[in-house]
Structure 1
Amino acid sequence: MTDQREPWAERTVEMPPEGQNPFRSGRAQVGPARRAEPTGPHIPTGTGWPGETGSIPRPVFSEELRLFRRGARLMLTGALFAFVCWGLWAISDGGNLGTPFALFVLTGLVALGLYALARVVGRVVWEKQLGRVRRSARGAHLVTAVFLAGVGIAYLRQIDWVVSAWSWFAGLF
């Protein structure tokens, strides 16, 4: 080995004279593959390759209820906004409240159907196609809240004094 005080270029390995190649072509020698010995009994987790019999385990009902509650405030906020707008519309109409109440109940049923549809689509796309685990119902709650907010705005657009106030406000700018 050369002296460590020499510059780097001078400390490189000497190559043999031309014509003698120190390298050999061919395949590298690889030893047999070693398998780790199992440390205990096999515990199936239900996950695996796509198409196997195992699938993502479904949570128990209490866990499903806890997942349902995540994001429920979004839907409740949309429902409250729709209810207030419906109330303003029903009162400003000045007639019988039977028909507006039936319309609001029908709107609520459509919102519940939309929520259920969003949950089914989430299950099919997120869990089945992508193989992911859903940790909340926020997406379905958000879709339903946007629908309910749109319904509330539609109620407000039917009130004369709200439309005239909006037109006046928009005319300022």
Structure 2
Amino acid sequence: MPEQPQWHERTLDMPPQDPWADQPAASGPPGFAASPGAPEAADPPSPFTQGRARVNPQAHQRQFAEHEPTGVGWPGADAPHARGMSWRWSDLRRGNEWSTAAALFAFVCWGIWALSGGGSLGTSVIVFVVTLIVAIGVFCLARVVGYYVIERAMGRQRRSARGSHLVTALFLVGVGIADLQQTEWVMTAWNWVAGQLS
């Protein structure tokens, strides 16, 4: 029985070919020019052939799962819940310069009214403490109204409490001006200055 060839003996040794190289016009030994009347030899077959590839347009389309766009999160996950009312200390401190300055103004005006009234100092202190408690209530009310208007109705997130501090400052300035209006000598001086300017 003849011996079977090994796997490396069954392969063909082919020289490397450049498919883009110019093919010779005629075959023959080097230095041999083909005569003009001689028939041209057929070109050797190219390893690449021209043609049109068949492309399936359905193959390149990606299929996505149907889901409701929620804006964040994975498809199929529950929609994020609305953010609750935030009372973080870092948010409440932003804008406190308004209410602090207004509280100082109200304190000075209260002091002028309390010292000029000649009444009981304990009653005047109670009036000022009640004024500060009402100012804190005004601040909390402004925060609640801002939550429902800005965050719930407009869908925006508040990063500070400047609006609430501004409303509280307006309240305290109004209380301070009311204290000054109840002080007799302050109103007399005010009327004198206003008369001189008119």
TM-score, normalising length: structure 1: 0.67
Q: CA RMSD in A?
A: 2.9
Change (3 A) 1:95 1:35: farther
Task: Please state whether the residue corresponding to 1:156 is helix, strand or coil.
Answer: helix
Can you list the C-alpha shifts for 1:40-78, whole angstroms capped at 9, x where unaligned?
Answer: xxxx847xxxxx8523445987xx211111100100111
1:157 maps to: 181
Change (3 A) 1:132 1:95: same
Mapping 1:81-160, distance limit 5 Å: 81-160=105-184
- Does the CA-based 8 Å contact 2:102-2:173 persist in structure 1? yes
- Does the CA-based 8 Å contact 1:56-1:133 persist in structure 2? no
Can you list the C-alpha shifts for 1:3-58, whole angstroms capped at 9, x where unaligned?
Answer: xxxxxxxxxxxxxxxxxxxxxxxxxxxx99x66979xxxxx847xxxxx8523445
| CA distance, structure 2, for counterparts of residue 36 and residue 57 of structure 1 | 34
Q: State the one-letter code of the partner of 1:125.
A: V
Q: State the one-letter code of the partner of 2:192.
A: W
Post-superposition offset of 1:123: 0.4
Change (3 A) 1:53 1:166: same
Q: State the one-letter code of the partner of 1:109.
A: I
Residue 55 (1) aligns with residue 85 (2): no
Q: What stretches of structure 1 of length at least 5 have no aligned partner?
A: 1-30, 39-43, 47-51
Structure number with the bigger relative contact order (C-alpha 8 A, sep ≥ 6) is 1
Mapping 1:16-95, distance limit 5 Å: 45=72, 53-57=79-83, 64-95=88-119
Post-superposition offset of 1:96: 1.6
Change (3 A) 1:54 1:167: same
- Does the CA-based 8 Å contact 2:85-2:147 persist in structure 1? no
| CA distance, structure 1, for counterparts of residue 115 and residue 161 of structure 2 | 34
Task: Please state whether the residue corresponding to 2:145 is helix, strand or coil.
Answer: helix
| CA distance, structure 2, for counterparts of residue 143 and residue 35 of structure 1 | 55
| CA distance, structure 1, for counterparts of residue 179 and residue 151 of structure 2 | 37
Q: Larger Cα Rg: Structure 1 or Structure 2?
A: 2
Post-superposition offset of 1:172: 1.3
